[in-house]
């Protein structure tokens, strides 16, 4: 997962405004007591951060994998 995909997934799951607040303010125990943004800045793998955020926010399993990927082009 790329950082851009992470940002898209957060916005899609939680909304643009609330998603940025969650990533900035929610302290996640499995990320060593850091927020998602802090963990990313510390170099934690983006996918690991996404999955930890999903777990902390009870995102259903069906919406965790493949999230944030752009829709395929329709040529």
Tens digits of residue pLDDT in 23-50: 999 999 999 999 999 999 999 999 999 9
CA dist., res. 28 & res. 35, Å (int): 6
Mean pLDDT of 56-70: 84
Closest by CA position to 28, among listed 60, 1, 52 = 52
Report CA torsion sign: 37, 40, 41, 42: positive
pTM, entire model:
0.87
pLDDT of 72 above 70 = no
CA dist., res. 34 & res. 26, Å (int): 8
> What's the mean pLDDT when you consider all of the chain?
91
Residue recorded with tokens 């919406």: 63
What pLDDT was estimated at residue 75? Answer: 66
Q: Which residues pair with 68 in a beta bridge?
A: none
């Amino acid at each position: 997962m790329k950082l851009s995909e992470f940002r898209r997934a957060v916005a899609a799951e939680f909304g643009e405004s609330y998603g940025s607040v969650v990533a900035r303010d929610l302290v996640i125990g499995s990320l060593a007591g850091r927020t998602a943004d802090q963990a990313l800045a510390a170099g934690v793998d983006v996918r690991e951060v996404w999955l930890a955020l999903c777990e902390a926010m009870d995102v259903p399993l069906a919406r965790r994998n493949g999230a944030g990927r752009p829709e395929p082009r329709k040529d």
